Structure formats: structure tokens, C-alpha cells
Amino acid sequence: MSMLAKLCTVLWLCLCVASVRAEPVQPTLTITAGTVTNHFTAAELLSRTDLASVQIPPHVDYEVSLTLQAVPLLDLLAALPLERFDRLEASATDGFVAQIPLSLILAGESGGSVAWIAVENPDHPWPKLPGKDASAGPFYLIWNIRNDPKWRTSNGRICWKD
């Protein structure tokens, strides 16, 4: 075998070993405001200093209480130019899309309800949603409603009332 053939074989074997050892693709949260886009992997979010444990009661998505690791959404939006925007559009991996008034999210700065982005830890996955083959992850928008009088509950569901 020629030296070139041996070198090519060694290179090919190294590439095969590298591809076997490659880390799996991590879920990524993408936040865009105008021309500015920030990407956060689940690992990056789970290692942030503002990560907190947030307990959610049984509700429409999960019928049991859960404690989730989450980051305040305001902290993720802090570096973005939000002045020209009045809504946040959230798109889920299952195709669900919601538009949330930015004023609801910004109210968390002054004692209002706080929006959190819960992050599913791949080492400790969340339970599957009732009747589904998947969890609510990899990211899940949750609210700490505190005593905000604009939030009301009806039949166990939390909704915004103007």
C-alpha cells in the first residue's frame, strides 16, 4: 500500500471515530428581534447563573405538579433591541404559535407576572404530556403569576384578562 493510500486510510478512520464521538445536536432556543438573533442551547441555559427551580401546579398541560429548571425570559431579551416591538411571537416545535403582548413580559420588571423559559435537561427528561408521545420540552414558557390581579383562573386554566 502506498504512503498516500495509508494516509488516506488513517484520515478516513479518524473521521469515522470523530463522527462516533461527536456530541448529539442540542435543542436550541432562537430569539430574534429585527436583525439581531441570539441562540441558546439547552446546555448553555442550564449553566446560567440566573437558572432557578420553578414549581408549577397541576394545570392544562400536565396534570401533576412539576419542578422545572428555568431562566427568566426578561434576562434572555435584555440584549435585544425591543423598542420597536409590541409583541413576542413564540413558535413551538409542534407547530403551535402564540403572540404575547410584550407589555405582559415587561410587567415582570415591576412586580407583575414573570415569564420563564423552562429548559428540559436531557439527563432528567420531563414526563410525557398526557395522551402524547413527547414532553412539553425542550423549552416551555411558564408564568409565575404572583398576586397579579390581571390573572384569573377558570376550570384550572390560567388566562390573561384585560
Rounded CA separation 114/104 (Å): 8
Q: pLDDT 10s per residue in the chain (162 long)?
A: 544 333 333 334 334 444 444 556 788 888 888 888 889 999 999 999 999 998 887 776 888 888 889 999 999 988 888 888 888 888 887 788 888 888 888 888 888 888 889 999 988 998 988 888 888 889 988 887 655 545 544 444 444 443
pLDDT at 113: 81
Amino acid identity of residue 37, one-letter, is T
Dist. CA 135–CA 20, nearest whole Å: 27
Per-residue b or e along 135-145, where b marks 16 or more CB atoms closer than 10 Å to that residue's CB:
ebbbbbbbbbb
> Does 138 sit behind a cis peptide bond, omega within 30 degrees of 0 on the bond before it?
yes
Written as one string, the DSSP assignment of 97-137 is: EEEEEHHHHHGGGGTS-EEEEEE-BTTBPPPPPTTSSS-S-
- Which residue's C-alpha cell is 408521545? 133
Domain boundaries, the chain: 27-160
Paired residues of 143 in beta bridges: 115
Closest CA to 73 of 22, 107, 96, 36: 107
Residue 5, pLDDT score: 38
What pLDDT is attached to residue 140? 87
Neighbour-count burial of 43, counting CB atoms closer than 10 A to its CB (0-12 exposed, 13-18 middle, 19+ buried): middle
